[in-house]
Amino acid sequence: MDPCKTLGAKFEAWLEMGLDEARCPVRNLLDQIGDRWSMLLLAALAGGPKRFSALARAVPDISKRMLTHTLRTLEADGLVHRDVQPTVPPRVTYSLTPLGESFAGPLLGLVEWAETHFAAVVEARQRAA
């Protein structure tokens, strides 16, 4: 089936739910993972477990406060696991959960689309400005 028609039909089903955030899976999840930092952190963790400082270096323009907040949100959503080792000081490592790993394929599709079409989008923006 045509992806555009399938997507359009899904949107119609969401409309029937009133686009209710509590019941609409796409709206609910995209509010969380579609923010400025979540996808970058999920992509960074796709390469394997990382400590907080390594994630801060991997995404240098994220504040420590926002990094903490985003990791907590991803952990609460079941996408990221926080492992605290009982050392002094505690050693904390973040990794993808199996649920987080299952999102790697769809995220990779979005990343590849962005890489392929980035120049065309920038050009369209420049024409519209």
Instruction: Please compute, for residue 2, the number of CA atoms within 13 A of its CA located in the half-sphere on the CB side.
Output: 4
Which strand ranges, in their side-by-side order, compose the sheet holding 80-85? 50-51, 91-96, 80-85
Among the listed residues 117, 79, 70, the one whose alpha carbon sits nearest the alpha carbon of residue 99 = 79
Asked if residue 60 lies in contact with residue 71, where contact means CB atoms within 8 angstroms, the answer is no
CA–CA dist 59, 92 (Å, integer): 18
Each residue of 65-74: pLDDT tens digit? 999 999 999 9
Question: Residue 96 above 90 pLDDT?
Answer: yes
pTM: 0.88
Residue 51 reports pLDDT greater than 80: yes
Which pLDDT tens digit goes with each residue over 8-39?
998 898 888 887 777 777 878 888 888 889 99
The pair of three-digit structure tokens given for residue 85, joined into one six-digit string: 């080792």
Least confident of 21-30, 48-57, 66-75, 81-90: 21-30
